[in-house]
Amino acid sequence: MANEVERTLRFGVVGVGNAGGGVLATMRKEANVEAVAVADLRPHARAAFEREFGGKAYASMEELCAAPNVDAIWVATPNPLHMKHAVMAANAGKHIVVEKPLAVDLKEAEAMIEAADRNGVKLLSGHTRAFDPPVQAISRVVKSGEVGAIKAMNVLAFTNWMLRPRMPEEVDVNQGGGVGFRQAPHQIDTLRFLGGGLVRSVRGSLGTWMAGRMGAPGYYTAYLEFEDGTPATIAYNGYGYFMASELLPWEKEGAATSIERRTEVRKAIRDGTWNEQQAKDDGRFGGAASTPPSILVDGNPARYLSDLGALIVTCERGVLRQSPNGIYVYNDDGVREESLTAVDGGGSSDPTLAEAYAGIIRGQPIFHDGHWGMATLEVQLALMESARERHEVVLSHQVAVPPNHR
């Protein structure tokens, strides 16, 4: 029985582009997770997988769903395909992990949940920064009672998202493109997790200021009010003029995000000289310049991740924020740094994969399930509705953080 409980979770990944390629790199580090198959339209990506992982690569989702040695499918295809591919996987009896956002509207999310329930498989809404060790550490300190209850939260995220190679579906709002769909889940999921899950209402605004991006919003700001009255604000700017990491003195700017590179790309987008399709394909798994990201940078689980941004949590008797090695805890005694170790970060393991393994193999409750993912999606959609209609949007599909969740 012990061997059965601890058996390997065998994953198939559909869509091994940037996100899917990163997932494959992470799975390689997991002792109890194995990437055994992929489905991708690109022949060179399929060849790279079979060469590097020794698994089977398919040209279609249908073939991947029929693979007998696949327990679960990680859906990393474009947003408009999330519902279709999740339902296909569920109908084939495969468990499912879906990249953010869960879907592009609530009806699709409901269909995914219904398919998983009907087929008796687990559905996990994955890969937002709420899983990350510094966020989990903030939650632990709050729950310890040291600084009292959370009274307000603020996120400031300035990135170069609009200057990275983008395919049409990534910048077409009608296909789930723009930062409201593709980046807001990181901040919203984190705030919902820390705030207890139940957002009462949203007021938001979008900014669309860049030519050459099909009218995709590259900026958003949001005011979230939780059911208990706790306020939370988010400011996200993906235009790359300024990076939030500049506010963190321990952060080092890499070549890909240097101001010189950002200036060069912005000019090339404007004058139409950037071969974006080639740049995108080069950076994907199996591409000429692909370097799949590791889950840890230099073994440090406290790494800063621009997808979330700078997070400041105000409590009754203190303030919490990210630090070079973990989080800073400002309290009535002054300030201390709570350092994280590889144990806090799960070593080389990805928290999403850890939760998937615990839920699928060990039968433990899944926290980031379809209902949680739909609740985060509801906040995203409310943000965009509020920006269009210029009014507050009251929510109705929110779910609470389980009381026993660490």
Exposed e or buried b for every residue in 328-357, given b needs 16+ CB within 10 A?
bbbbeeeeeebebeeebbbbbbbbbbbbbb
Mean of pLDDT values over 49-60: 96
pLDDT confidence band for 296 (50 / 70 / 90): very low
Residue given tokens 């009535």 in the structure block? 332
Q: For position 277, what pLDDT does the model report?
A: 87
Per-residue pLDDT tens for 163-180? 999 988 899 999 999 999
Q: For position 283, what pLDDT does the model report?
A: 82
State yes or no: pLDDT of 159 exceeds 60: yes
Per-residue pLDDT tens for 14-46? 999 888 888 998 898 888 999 999 999 999 999
228-232, 299-303, 344-348, 376-380: least confident range: 344-348
> How many whole angstroms separate alpha carbon 157 and alpha carbon 309?
4
Mean of pLDDT values over 1-8: 60
**Which residues, other chains included, contact 344 with Cβ-Cβ below 8 Å and sequence gap of 6+?**
133, 136, 137, 301, 326
Query: 354 or 151, which is more confident?
Result: 151
Q: For position 375, what pLDDT does the model report?
A: 98
**Which residues, other chains included, contact 14 with Cβ-Cβ below 8 Å and sequence gap of 6+?**
20, 38, 39, 40, 61, 64, 73, 74, 75, 76, 77, 85
Instruction: State the average pLDDT for the chain.
Output: 91
Per-residue pLDDT tens for 329-362? 999 999 999 998 744 544 446 788 999 999 999 9
State yes or no: pLDDT of 363 exceeds 50: yes
State yes or no: pLDDT of 148 exceeds 50: yes
Query: 17 or 181, which is more confident?
Result: 181
Contact between 101 and 377 (Cβ < 8 Å): yes
Q: For position 290, what pLDDT does the model report?
A: 60
Q: How many CA atoms lie within 13 A of 140 on its CB side?
A: 15
Query: 10 or 248, which is more confident?
Result: 10
**Which residues, other chains included, contact 347 with Cβ-Cβ below 8 Å and sequence gap of 6+?**
none
State yes or no: pLDDT of 139 exceeds 70: yes
Going by DSSP bridges, is the β-strand pair 9-14/72-75 parallel, antiparallel, or unpaired?
parallel
HEC string of the chain equals: CHHHHCCCEEEEEECCCHHHHHHHHHHHHCCCEEEEEEECCCHHHHHHHHHHHCCEEECCHHHHHHCCCCCEEEECCCHHHHHHHHHHHHHCCCEEEEECCCCCCHHHHHHHHHHHHHHCCCEEEECCHHHCHHHHHHHHHHHHCCCCCEEEEEEEEECCHHHCCCCHHHHCHHHCCCHHHHCHHHHHHHHHHHHCCCEEEEEEEEECCCCCCCCCCCEEEEEEEECCCCEEEEEEECCCCCCHHHHCCCCCCCHHHCHHHHHHHHHHHHHCCCCHHHHHHHHCCCCCCCCCCCCCECCECCCCCCCCCEEEEEECCEEEEECCCEEEEEECCEEEEEECCCCCCCCCCCHHHHHHHHHHCCCCCCCCEHHHHHHHHHHHHHHHHHHHHCCCEECCCCCCCCCCCC
State yes or no: pLDDT of 298 exceeds 80: no
Spatial strand order of the sheet with 33-39 comes to: 56-58, 33-39, 9-14, 72-75, 95-99, 123-126
Q: For position 346, what pLDDT does the model report?
A: 45
Q: For position 294, what pLDDT does the model report?
A: 40
Per-residue pLDDT tens for 225-243? 999 999 999 999 999 999 9
pLDDT confidence band for 198 (50 / 70 / 90): very high
Exposed e or buried b for every residue in 226-240, given b needs 16+ CB within 10 A?
beeebebbbbbbbbb
**Which residues, other chains included, contact 269 with Cβ-Cβ below 8 Å and sequence gap of 6+?**
163, 210, 211, 212, 213, 276
Q: In order of start, what are the domains of the chain with their CATH numbers?
A: 2-128+348-368 (3.40.50.720), 130-346+377-394 (3.30.360.10)
Nearest alpha-carbon partner for 134 in 296, 19, 254, 18: 296
8-22, 69-83, 194-208, 229-243: least confident range: 8-22
- pTM for the structure as a whole: 0.93
Query: 395 or 404, which is more confident?
Result: 395
94 token code pair: 């495969």
Per-residue pLDDT tens for 306-330? 889 999 999 999 999 999 999 999 9
Mean of pLDDT values over 98-115: 97
